[in-house]
Amino acid sequence: MRLFMLAALAAGALVAAPQSSSQAPAIDANRALVNRYCVTCHNQRLRTAKLAFDTMDLSHPEKNALVWERAIRKLRGGMMPPPGAARPPAEAVAAFATYLENSLDKAALAHADPGSVRIHRLNRAEYANAMRDLFDIKVDAAALLPSDDIDEGFDNIAGVLKVSPSFLDQYIMAARAVAKEAVGTPPSNKTVTVTLRGDDSEVPLPPGARGGITAQFLAPYEGDYEIRATGRPAVFTVDGAKVDTTGRTHLTAGVHDIVAANAGHSFAESEGELFGFVPGAAGTGYSSTGTVVGGIVANGNAGGRGRGGRNRPDVTVNGPFNPVGKPVETASRARIFVCHPPDASEETACAARILSNLATKAFRRPVDDKDLAPFMKFYTDGRKSTGSFEGAIENATVAVLASSKFLYRVEPPPPNAQPGSIYKLNGTELASRLSFFLWSSIPDEELRTAAEQGKLNTPKGLEQEVRRMLADPRAKTLTTNFAFEWLKIRDMDAMEPDPYVYPSFNAPLRAALKTEMDMFISSIFREDRSVIDLLSANYTFVNERLAEHYGIPNVRGDEFRRVTLTDPNRFGLLGKGAVMMVTAYPNRTSPVLRGAYILENITGTPPSPPPPNVPAFKENKDGEKAHTVREIMEAHRANPTCKACHGVMDPLGFALENFDTIGAYRTVDRITLTKIDTAGKLADGTVVNGPVDLRNALLRHPEEFAQTFTEKMMTYALGRGVEYYDMPAIRKIVKDSARDNYKFSDIVMGIIRTPEFQSSMVESVKADQPSGVQVAAK
């Protein structure tokens, strides 16, 4: 992890700096601690890990801030001295870490460094959200655009969002596809027959029904429509209202939510049929709320909300019969065509108005005639080549969406600013940071207006906007983007448990586990609870399939509901099947993966990378005596080289051994048929035996989890890795939020108020940067 990479330190004499009378005893005690427990390995002669603590000035930790921040992390995590070595009293370690933190925080006030962010390209999730907010259309960015590289655990880190000619070609092709869909034309045919495909919409199935699809259908005209399904009997709802058994219903022109589901029955019936569901194929590269006749919000799968069943109905919609009125005007066209020229003489003025409106939203700032000039040329060229006003607007729309002004976020320094100087972001730049942080999308009109009026420059105005944005449904991306990447939940999609070992695992269970995490995390954020509740909450969200997996009685149907947990093993994140699944191998559990996961994502003390030539895990073989995972791991960590890390990681992972790869609770090892041993001793000496003990041990230091959460969210918010000079700001956020038990909104506001979020530092520019793209380097 780049956060605290160790650098070689220049050797020098220990400096006896002037000290106040109050500081001297603490410095002397800390120096004695370092000399006794640290210098034996980290000295000028051995330089273990390239460190020589005997040369460092403890009176001024800020002189070696990078190293001391790393030391703080190791001390707080109980990782140094390593397991098996002599250890100082816990109170002395805590006092030393606190002294270092206070010294570094005080020094940071006089030498602020907000860092800086390089040119920042929209990732494909942000691109898809921008299309939604610009045109009210759904885009399958995964089908249209290349995948984004991940750094620091996130796919929105500016430094790895690379640019290449082939990449730009794909963005141009995506712009063409989106512009064609968004501009579209009103439907001309009155009667249509459309086959519906399902998506991952959150429209619930009718009570007791399952094995169905949810989709959105564009009724081109008002009239009567007929919904039919092949296969087993189906029930239908339109916009939440049940349709009679004939399938006939009256629809107004526009988009409607249609649910078609198989008649209900219990999961206890016909397990082979229900558990064998395979999600339907994805739809087209992009889809909309209805810019084509019978348009469907497709491109998902019927298992998105726990829906499943091998006999998913094949549904068609016919109609309208007896159509009335004018054809529907799509939402995307309404957003684009803010004017309609009455004749050719007014087309150019109308085009300028349309493109000005579009560019202002897409570029996230006001535009002038100079900004519009190139796009008006595309309009003129399009008018000649297509022969129509709408074709010309489509051509210019492609140019706007392919523009670097849309695809990149740039925060240029003031003219003549010198390298190393700090400058405050202007209102529109701050608005973009806010919207991409909280919504993973472009600012809306209200946010842009607040920026232009200077409201974001006042504490009250800024907080009002942040609270409005957190209450907006678009803030759901803090769960699906931030939290799902931080907690590795997205890795579930690539995890395929061994079907011979876990025959009950299927697509509906995978979907249910993800939905549980989505709803659980969202409830913490939406209800503005303490982030510590992520570890301790005694509730979750289940449908029948997940309740059956967890052993929770009296839950029927596909719809998820909130339940109070009676089994404390299931409390919080460490009781969730999704977390257990992304910390295991397809055929067995892994205490190492689970221990490392806790260290990195819960306590914020990631383990060092494994040394080279580490022997492979000795899997059980046929014909040989079988061993539990614990037995094999204990033999592995008997090697002193391995014990330094495994002595810290393994007890954490062993405590979760009652959960198998897919998160089912067990008490007996499936290989040896012996009772699972979850006992262990943590680095600080705490004895734990199972998930409940582990959670309680973690909750004794809530500030550690709050700091980890803040670091991860700061990384996501800034689009860059957190560096050692950011730690004073992070600690301040944690201390301030502790007054109200680490409430979610307090941490969000704390991040937004920091100089790191609201300012930037001028960097030098590499002279040999290729492709004309400036990449800053300190």
Q: Is there a contact between 41 and 88 (Cβ–Cβ < 8 Å)?
A: no
Indicate if the pLDDT at residue 458 is higher than 90: yes
Model confidence at 416, pLDDT cuts 50, 70, 90, reads: confident
Q: Is there a contact between 591 and 660 (Cβ–Cβ < 8 Å)?
A: no
pLDDT in tens, 538-574: 999 999 999 999 999 999 988 899 999 999 999 999 9
Model confidence at 275, pLDDT cuts 50, 70, 90, reads: very low
Region for 643 from its dihedrals, namely left if φ exceeds 0, alpha if ψ lies in -120 to 50, beta otherwise: alpha
Q: Give me the pLDDT at residue 708, please.
A: 97
Model confidence at 13, pLDDT cuts 50, 70, 90, reads: very low
Give the residue-averaged pLDDT of 647-656.
90
d(CA 356, CA 661) in angstroms, rounded, equals 54
3-state secondary structure string, 267-302? CCCCHHHHCCCCCCCCCCCEEECCCCCCCCCCCCCC
d(CA 196, CA 199) in angstroms, rounded, equals 10
* CB-based contacts of 567, cutoff 8 Å, min separation 6: 550, 551, 575, 665
Q: Is there a contact between 357 and 339 (Cβ–Cβ < 8 Å)?
A: no
pLDDT in tens, 125-166: 999 999 999 999 988 888 899 899 999 999 999 999 987 788
* Closest of 386, 330, 339 to residue 181, by C-alpha: 330
Position 304: which residue type?
G
Indicate if the pLDDT at residue 205 is higher than 80: no
* Closest of 316, 305, 310 to residue 201, by C-alpha: 305
Q: Give me the pLDDT at residue 612, please.
A: 65
Pairing of strands 210-219, 408-409: unpaired
* CB-based contacts of 171, cutoff 8 Å, min separation 6: 145, 402, 407
Indicate if the pLDDT at residue 774 is higher than 50: no
CA atoms within 13 A on the CB side of 484: 20
Distance of CA 182 to the CA centre of its chain: 28
DSSP annotation of 423: E
Q: Give me the pLDDT at residue 168, please.
A: 85
Who has greater pLDDT, 670 or 199? Answer: 670
Q: Give me the pLDDT at residue 772, please.
A: 30
List residues bridging with 210 in a β-sheet: 262
Q: Give me the pLDDT at residue 611, please.
A: 66
Q: Is there a contact between 191 and 223 (Cβ–Cβ < 8 Å)?
A: no
How far from 187 is each of 190, 220, 256, 449, CA to CA, in Å?
Answer: 8, 6, 16, 35
d(CA 138, CA 746) in angstroms, rounded, equals 32
Give buried/exposed letters for 738-748 (b at 16+ CB in 10 A, else e): eeeebbbbbbb
Indicate if the pLDDT at residue 678 is higher than 90: yes
Q: Is there a contact between 198 and 312 (Cβ–Cβ < 8 Å)?
A: yes
Give the residue-averaged pLDDT of 225-254.
84
Question: Structure tokens of 695?
Answer: 């959670």
Model confidence at 294, pLDDT cuts 50, 70, 90, reads: very low
Q: Give me the pLDDT at residue 769, please.
A: 39
Who has greater pLDDT, 310 or 263? Answer: 263
pLDDT in tens, 502-521: 999 999 999 999 999 999 99
Indicate if the pLDDT at residue 682 is higher than 50: yes
What angle do the packed helices 65-76 and 90-110 form, to 10 degrees?
150
Q: Give me the pLDDT at residue 296, please.
A: 30
Who has greater pLDDT, 599 or 6? Answer: 599
List residues bridging with 255 in a β-sheet: 218
Position 498: which residue type?
D
Indicate if the pLDDT at residue 43 is higher than 80: no
**Residue 734 exposed, middle or buried by CB count within 10 Å (0-12, 13-18, 19+):** buried
Q: Is there a contact between 219 and 254 (Cβ–Cβ < 8 Å)?
A: yes
Q: Give me the pLDDT at residue 118, please.
A: 76
Give buried/exposed letters for 318-349 (b at 16+ CB in 10 A, else e): bbbeebeeebbebbbbebbbeeebeeeeebbe
Position 161: which residue type?
L
Indicate if the pLDDT at residue 306 is higher than 90: no
* CB-based contacts of 200, cutoff 8 Å, min separation 6: 300, 301, 304, 305
d(CA 76, CA 74) in angstroms, rounded, equals 6
* Closest of 278, 303, 297 to residue 210, by C-alpha: 303
pLDDT in tens, 589-631: 999 999 999 999 999 988 877 766 666 666 766 667 777 878 7
d(CA 689, CA 678) in angstroms, rounded, equals 5
pLDDT in tens, 705-737: 999 999 999 999 999 999 999 999 999 999 999
DSSP annotation of 643: H
